[in-house]
Amino acid sequence: MRRGGKRMNTARSLREKFARGETAFGVWAALPDAFAAELMCVGGVDYICVDQQHGLVDYREMVEMLRAIEGRRSAVPVTRVPVNQAWIIGKVLDAGMQGVVVPMVSNRAEAAAAVAACRYSPRGNRSFGPVRASMVMNSRDVAVMGDSVLCFVMVETREGVEKVDEIASTPGLDGIYVGPADLALGLGLQPDLDKEEPEHVAAVERILAACKKHSIVPGIQCGNGKAARKQADRGFRFVTFTKDSSLLPAAVGKEVAAILGTDTGVKQTSQKGYT
């Protein structure tokens, strides 16, 4: 989508939405398929997050998925990197990704490392080599390419929850993304998305409060639209409502149930899943 000749599916469009106090809703892409990613770029989907941590996506496939998402000119392409390492973060941004979600961040030093990997000097230590990003962003200005991309970190451990206030205060950090399943594991609970144990609920509230205190964007993974709407009403502003690897079996299960005259198919409303 373009307005006034400018491409709209960039990090800037998400930043503008956040600045207005609105929520961005998105989809997780775990399948290594550009066409599948392209198909999910429908109206109302603000971003597609290509999952390189738990998804089956390697770098080459990520680039093809990125190009497919860009071509639709609607959803903003971001990616969850497999690990908090500067060269990995820099490489996906050099390809043209508009933001990163960095897993397993448990303290301010780790958060600062993630931010530094996204920003050029003097704000960070990202190496200059925007092989494709400069073309996508139509600029080689380090302020444009480095400062515009989004940096979210995931708080998923007990240490991270205890230190969430210092993490949220990290200069240059755009937001914290909650992965309920891994957070549950970090707290010694079973990994699901719809956790109701008091300790888990309190941890999520603590993360949300820290984001609000430091004026950064709170994000969270959900298993369906109903849960996503609930979390948005709660105050989350970067909300994933489904993933491709759940949609496909749910759709097939629904049709199988129709054939058999049963309701035993995989339910799309399931909150089971990973983060």
Six token digits for residue 98: 């508009």
Spatial contact of 9 and 69, defined as CB atoms under 8 Å apart = yes
Active site annotation includes 200: no
From residue 151, how far is each of 44, 111, 245, 265 by CA, in Å?
Answer: 22, 9, 25, 38
Q: Which residue has the tokens 């959900």?
A: 222
User: How far is it, in rounded angstroms, from Cα 42 to Cα 32?
Assistant: 19
The angle that helices 108-118 and 86-95 make with each other, rounded to 10 degrees, is: 30
For 265, other C-beta atoms within 10 Å of its C-beta total 18
Residue 42: exposed, middle, or buried by beta-carbon count in 10 A (0-12, 13-18, 19+)?
A: exposed
Spatial contact of 53 and 82, defined as CB atoms under 8 Å apart = yes
**Amino acid found at 195:** K
- 12, 54, 119, 200: which is the annotated catalytic residue? 54
- The alpha helices in the chain, defined as continuous H runs, are 11-19, 34-39, 59-72, 86-95, 108-118, 133-136, 142-148, 158-162, 164-168, 180-186, 198-213, 225-234, 244-260
Give catalytic residue positions. Answer: 54
